[in-house]
Structure 1
Amino acid sequence: MKLQTHIPLSKETRHPIDYDSKTLLLGSCFSENIGNKLEYFKFQSTQNPFGILFHPKAIETFIENAINLKEYDENDVFYLNERYHCFDSHSKLSTASKEELLINLNAAVQQIHKRLTESTHIIITLGTAWAYRLIESDTIVANCHKVPQKKFLKELLSVDEIAESLEAIVSLVRSINPDVNFMFTVSPVRHLKDGFVQNQQSKAHLISAIHHVVEPRKRIFYFPSYEIMMDELRDYRFYAEDMIHPSKTAIDYIWSKFTESWVSESAFKTMKEVASIQKRMLHKPFNATSEEHQQFLEKLSNDVSALQKSNPNIIF
């Protein structure tokens, strides 16, 4: 008896992710779920230096500014609720110091400009097609930072607008890194503040737009994280307590599907070794000065050294 439907996935054999790959993850908070897994297994990865970016226009602006090495100044930030903010970044970058915020913004631009030139894989997770346009400047912002809603116009990006934005993202990055692989995915996180029907409409726009630009021959791929959540894990037990975000079990499941289809089989042995070391590093001894624990630490140190000798990019 078949009690579950499965999303068919093919193994990527031409451009898989391995320990020599350099991966950049941008977009919705689900990109950080996958990014955290890549970091745990010590792949070379960078995620969301401007914080979570929910919609494609925000990601396009971020990439355009990074490629052009935009230098943020005091005209790009504002003060509200005792903190300085930038409409291009997530509130996690906001600080009580204007100078600190500008330093962090410009450091992130420099970091990502370099990362864009050397990345082998860029994974972009789109969260929503709903965007907010600041009336004063007639620009779409990445984050409203609790500025009064009356200062914005809320709009649903059309399929054509999203597709154009994704094409612009690909063209911008390819202008400095022509051989990079793109992977687009749609976040399974439910944006219910927009409304139940509106959330589904938003996800439909994102999925339709992505499929306008996906072309494996051009190294532009789609990973069905949203579909896996909706069709394989169609049960509330796979959601966190807020009934909006995927649970740890769901994240682990989608990660397993991601590794099956996108991680090189040559990396599996190293991943197993990394996981073993990570678990042992979290070990808390009953007696830190015992001979047994000292032997444990020596064995752990030797295993780390041996792994780093064969994989110099791995840093614990």
Structure 2
Amino acid sequence: MKVAFSGSCLSAEIVKAMTAISPKIEVAGFINHMRTDVLSQALSDAEVLPFRETAKDFIANFSKTHDAEQRNGRRILRQCRESFLNFVSFYKECDLFIIDTNYDLSAKAVLFRDEGQEYCLSNVAVDANTSDVRQKGVLKPEEVVVAYEEVVRKLRAINPDCRIVLVQYPVSGFEKVASTAKVRISRAYELSQKLSVVEAEVLPLWDIADYELSSKGPLYFGEEVYRRYAKVILEGGQANDTAAQATSAKPLSQSSPSGKKHPYVDLSKKRLWRTGVATQSPTYLPDIYKKKFEISKTDKVATFGSCFAQHIGRRMQASGFNFLDKEPAPSGFSPADAVAHGYGIYSGRYGNVYTPKQLVQLFDRAFGGQNLDEVWKNEGRFYDAFRPNLQPGGYSSLDALLEEREQHLNAVRSLFEELDVMVFTLGLTEAWVNKQTGAVYPICPGVTAGEFDEGLYEFKNFTFREIYDDLLDVFSKIKGVNKSVKILLTVSPVPLTATGEDRHVLVSTTYSKSVLRAVAGEIYDRHDFVDYFPSYEIITQPGARGVFYQENLRNVHDAGVDFVMRHFFDEHSDGYVEDDLANNNDELCDEKFLDIEKLVQ
């Protein structure tokens, strides 16, 4: 595929990122450092001289007398006869053309007359007007729209089959260092409302977070930003009609037909899909989370839940929070061995707590309210039915298992009594249950330990009401031993590995996550001591396009977890700290053993 580009370094860096992604991409050529209206003028008579060579010499000499020779000279050369003729030549062979709005937002231009003909050069600085040379101010948004419509029409005449993508230069944190930034940002938003071009794709305006800026300066971005643009374009971007809807929606009416104001007048950016999601950077969603209560660095924080909860605990610990660990690894254990034995991944050695029923069960067992003594035996080794994968190879004797279990439950009891903040990540609605005792397991008996008996074990898919009641039950019990506890709920964005239902795993995943999210929302609304952090929404939001998942489309990679936690720490900390602990990929996940292909191997 042959690619050409015009505009600013944004387009150049996007194309550079595209070539890194796909070796099949060939850069046909470029013409840059000019506004779209200048490109349109050149294309009007591209086969002839856009301006005479004598005019080029005149402007170069004029610039020299005004101490701008080097920069102006380079830019003028890009806008001379040879450049435009080359552009037309390689554009005829192009498959994709990318152009951005950077110079249309802020660059001034120079108008000059030569032998009765007026020409325009953009990004050429002069500080005086004469009868032959004068400044032309920054384009108005409506003028930018006209210029793009003209350019696209002319490009189509040269090469009707070329795909044209218009990239709106993103809004970023440069307002902190540029005095004119507010005007530029305002112009960018106004342009995004108007920019809808027939026969071209318009990428929506993205907001870029401060941490994504480059050290070069506020108008430059980190490599990940360019890579995301490249990926969106390579994957097809947005169809023109969709892009037009995302970027060209008219402002909401200030009143209803009756003349009275309605509730949707003057909505904040976060409350509209267009400004809250479609035009935002996929790596930062401002205002998606506002804390209900403080979580200080001195609060004792404990984590429970599905596999994703392990990452949350690690990031909090790495960022200086007071992470409780009531069952630390014995001395001499390597980090990998500690994880394999269930140490350090949660605040206690209870492993994955996928459902609220498991959490109720854990509390009851720790405080003597439920006596479940089930042990599984395989090939002379003993396994704790409620933590079957925390002791690789099982225990050598029943006594060793029971002794360690008693120590574990004592630690859990102490944990519930001491913690200030409990983070619980809801993972699943599906579980396997003992028909006789009601015990709930983290994994189906027989998968990694024990033996499956259909007369003893049954599949259970908990309903909204059951999950809701279980959460209220366990929260009430915890408050009974710890009145000041605060609870932070999240929903894991990790899909099911396999489903016990006779239906597609995607349907089961949607059901489970929908029910868990609905329960979390209901409890959040009704209880002041319960907050909700939208880790599920942040990872699965459409703007991310699945980029935060690993190749299996299930596990969230480190960059995805970092992305989630930045939103959390923006509310609860002075900043996010990445270190070796935060970049530890090791995790313990019972559910991964349900992957049949993995078992066969």
Interval containing the TM-score (normalised by the shorter chain): 0.7 to 0.9
Is 2:404 aligned against 1:104? yes
Deviation sequence 1:52-96 (CA, Å, 0-9, x none): 121111111112222338787xx4312125532223225224623
The code of the aligned residue for 1:41 comes to S
The code of the aligned residue for 1:38 comes to M
2:287 equivalent in structure 1: 8
Deviation sequence 1:196-244 (CA, Å, 0-9, x none): 1011101111111222222475311111111111116632331123221
Q: Using a 3 Å threshold, how does the CA distance of structure 1 residues 78 and 10 change in structure 2: closer, same or farther?
A: closer
2:374 equivalent in structure 1: 76
2:306 equivalent in structure 1: 28
How many percent identity over aligned positions? 19
The code of the aligned residue for 1:175 comes to G
RMSD (Å), alpha carbons = 2.7
Secondary structure of the 2:495 match is coil
Cα pair 1:33 1:251 within 8 Å, conserved: yes
Deviation sequence 1:13-66 (CA, Å, 0-9, x none): 742231x11011001011101111123334322325211121111111112222
* Partner residue of 1:210 out of 517, 520, 531: 520
Q: Give, in whole Å, the separation in 2 of the partners of 1:114 and 1:138.
A: 25
Is 2:467 aligned against 1:157? no
Q: How big is the shift at 1:139?
A: 3.3
Q: Which runs of 5+ in 1 are unaligned?
A: 280-316
Q: Using a 3 Å threshold, how does the CA distance of structure 1 residues 91 and 231 change in structure 2: closer, same or farther?
A: same
2:490 equivalent in structure 1: 185
1:301 equivalent in structure 2: none
* Partner residue of 2:452 out of 148, 154, 159: 148
Q: Give, in whole Å, the separation in 2 of the partners of 1:131 and 1:137.
A: 14
Deviation sequence 1:238-290 (CA, Å, 0-9, x none): 112322111111011111111112x243xx4xx76xx68x69xxxxxxxxxxx
Secondary structure of the 2:498 match is helix
- Report which stretch shifted further, 5-14 or 235-244: 5-14
* Partner residue of 1:87 out of 385, 402, 405: 385
The code of the aligned residue for 2:310 comes to E
Please, what TM-score do these two structures have when normalized by structure 2? Answer: 0.41
Q: Give, in whole Å, the separation in 1 of the partners of 2:544 and 2:412.
A: 36
The code of the aligned residue for 2:404 comes to N
Cα pair 2:383 2:395 within 8 Å, conserved: no
Structure number with higher helix proportion:
1
Cα pair 1:187 1:226 within 8 Å, conserved: yes
- Report which stretch shifted further, 173-182 or 75-84: 75-84
Q: Give, in whole Å, the separation in 2 of the partners of 1:115 and 1:177.
A: 10
Cα pair 2:431 2:444 within 8 Å, conserved: no
* Partner residue of 1:118 out of 414, 418, 423: 418
Q: How big is the shift at 1:114?
A: 1.3
Q: Give, in whole Å, the separation in 2 of the partners of 1:7 and 1:264.
A: 16
Alignment of 1:224-243 (within 5 A): 224-231=534-541, 234-243=544-553
Q: Structure 1 residue runs of 4+, over 6 Å off?
A: 69-72
* Partner residue of 1:247 out of 536, 546, 557: 557
Secondary structure of the 2:390 match is helix
Cα pair 1:240 1:248 within 8 Å, conserved: no
Q: Using a 3 Å threshold, how does the CA distance of structure 1 residues 166 and 191 change in structure 2: closer, same or farther?
A: same
Secondary structure of the 1:91 match is coil
Q: Which runs of 5+ in 2 are unaligned?
A: 1-204, 206-278, 326-345, 500-504, 582-601
